[in-house]
Structure 1
Amino acid sequence: MDLETRQLQKILDEAHQLPEVLILKPVTTSTNDDVREIALKGVQSVLVCSLRQTQGRGQRQRQWVSPEGNIYLSTLLNTRTPIDGRLALEIALNILQMPSLKNLDLQVKWPNDLYSTQGKWGGILVEPLSPHQVIVGVGINLEPIPKENIDQHATSLSELGLTNISRIQLVAELYMAIQQASEWFDHHCYNLAARFNHYAAFKNQAVEFEHHSGLCSGIFLGIQDDGAVNIETSEGLKQFYQGRLRRLEISL
């Protein structure tokens, strides 16, 4: 067992949150796939973290750019409440409350992006194995991402002001934040709309929303307690549970 693994094991053990399986890797294809393989063997708690992924993915199977040196982490959650879209929102909100991040000006972009006014600094991928068991993957940019590798505004925690970054401490806090999010989820996501809307990216701004039937544009008013997006359009208020939200760039 290497030094970083021992350090992480010690932090989680002292917090009484040490999983059955804990693996730190220099490189992997996908940490979510690693957790899936372990979960199929009957393991109920697992944490896999890698410095680099060769086949990282995001929502809707989009490629997740995974250069070396950032955090790519996956774990397994077992919930009493059947999995739905609110879980990713709870995970994002709990990540923003991590001790290492609380002094930064951070946002959440519905439904699963860790965001800021400078752009995206992380993302969450939720992949259910059953109605009550889910793999949660989180990717965090610690350092700047080469601009040629991405198709959207992106930033990193170092660019947002996080200095003297302890990667192992962040991994421990991330794992515990995800576990805490599971508790919120199992307690019916109490007051979710108010908590999310406080950190919501693009709130009260002009947005475009891509959904299964096409596109709509309007003003993003935040979310409801059930996780649905509220958009005020020219045809009135509309709610969506699935889709992609982006700020509408208005040319003057």
Structure 2
Amino acid sequence: MNNNILHTTIPLKLINLLADGKFHSIEQFNMLLGVNNACIKKYIKIVRNWGVDIFTMPGKGYRLYAPLQLLDENIIRKLLPEGRLTVLPVIDSTNQYLIEHIGSIQTGDACVAEYQAQGRGRRGRQWISPFGNNLYLSLYWRFEKGLESSGGISLMVGIVMAEVLKRFGAEKVQVKWPNDLYLNNRKLAGILVEIFGKVDNTTHIVIGAGINLAMRESTVGKIDQEWINLKESGVTIDRNVLAAELTSTLRQAFLQFERNGFSPFFSRWQALDNFLNRPVKLLVAEQEIKGIARGIDAQGALILEQEGKLHAYFDGNISLRNQ
């Protein structure tokens, strides 16, 4: 575990003080946190390493670039009709947290985090997870029908997430096969599905979702693809309300998926497909395949038109290409 995570109590108190976006003096920190100036500077550094944008002004003290709306477990739970959800201020990975608790958690249990030190995306990529500006949510589901019943889950989750964000005013959000949300042709959110089980045995599924709400370039450094946040598009969403709504809607969607599989969601994909009828390239291992994206089939495979013929692909990563 990241060494900074071993000492989170005072940094979290510091963030709570700064969350209002106003200047706070060293003297305030000394009095309220009970630590000296040298320690304050050390904790400020830890908080900055978490991706919190803090600046200082002589004679005034420290403040955030913008106020933070912190996650509140009590608020989220009151908004949920049922089920359990845990708020984790600082964690390695929300998915890993649930994976490590399989056996003691229940179907539908969820967690959200302010900061992930080792957030991960598809194919082992790192998911940049600065503190307090985005939503990092994971949910656990137990399937009794076995591994074969789980086909299309990442697409189902993408559809549900896009529809929820649209209800909150992000009308132009679309899906990208097989596990991303796009806005203005840039990545807004990612989905990671981790599955444990055998073909004819109980299957344990953990889905993780990371949504860029107000992340700033200065807090994350270089990301190797074009990305966007909702705030940039003029949409501001209450993080606690979004966490509750997304969790509740995903639970209902999983129940429907458990009964009927991917078929109830299939027709909803096309209306959301960012790449539909556009020229794309599909990367499968070291192979690059070019074609026109024609949506998906009933099993969730990507359909590419190549030289007038349709071909289905179950794996790979697509991107737009020049005509």
TM-score normalised to structure 1 length: 0.88
Tell me the residue number matched to 1:105.
172
Structure of higher CA gyration radius: 2
After superposition, residues 3-42 of structure 1 pair within 5 angstroms as: 4-12=72-80, 15=81, 17-19=82-84, 22-41=85-104
Q: Please give the alpha-carbon distance, in whole angstroms, between the structure 2 residues aligned to 1:151 and 1:28.
A: 23
Could you report, residue by residue, the CA deviation over 1:137-171 in whole angstroms, capped at 9, with x for unpaired residues?
A: 110111134174311111112123322x2111010
How big is the shift at 1:185? Answer: 1.8
Q: Please give the alpha-carbon distance, in whole angstroms, between the structure 1 residues aligned to 2:178 and 2:150.
A: 12
How big is the shift at 1:183? Answer: 2.5
After superposition, residues 1-252 of structure 1 pair within 5 angstroms as: 4-12=72-80, 15=81, 17-19=82-84, 22-41=85-104, 43-69=106-132, 70-81=134-145, 82=147, 83-98=149-164, 100-101=167-168, 104-130=171-197, 132-146=203-217, 148-163=221-236, 165-186=237-258, 187-212=260-285, 214-234=287-307, 236-250=309-323
Q: Which letter does structure 1 place at the counterpart of 2:156? A: E
Q: Which has the higher contact order (CA 8 A, sep 6+)?
A: 1
Change (3 A) 1:80 1:162: farther
Whether the 8 Å contact between 1:216 and 1:233 is mirrored in structure 2 is no
Q: Which letter does structure 1 place at the counterpart of 2:115? A: R
Q: Please give the alpha-carbon distance, in whole angstroms, between the structure 1 residues aligned to 2:279 and 2:163.
A: 27
Whether the 8 Å contact between 1:230 and 1:240 is mirrored in structure 2 is yes
Q: Please give the alpha-carbon distance, in whole angstroms, between the structure 1 residues aligned to 2:115 and 2:76.
A: 18
How big is the shift at 1:213? Answer: 6.4
* Structure 2 stretches lacking a partner, 5+ long: 1-69
Q: Which letter does structure 2 place at the counterpart of 1:136? A: I
CA RMSD of aligned residues (A): 2.2
TM-score normalised to structure 2 length: 0.70
Percentage of pairs with the same residue: 32
Tell me the residue number matched to 2:4.
none
Q: Please give the alpha-carbon distance, in whole angstroms, between the structure 1 residues aligned to 2:244 and 2:271.
A: 25
Q: Please give the alpha-carbon distance, in whole angstroms, between the structure 1 residues aligned to 2:320 and 2:71.
A: 43
How big is the shift at 1:220? Answer: 0.5
* Secondary structure of the structure 1 residue equivalent to 2:213: coil
Structure whose residues are more often helix by fraction: 2
Q: Please give the alpha-carbon distance, in whole angstroms, between the structure 2 residues aligned to 1:159 and 1:36.
A: 33
* Secondary structure of the structure 2 residue equivalent to 1:245: strand
Q: Deviating runs (4+, > 6 A) in structure 1?
A: none
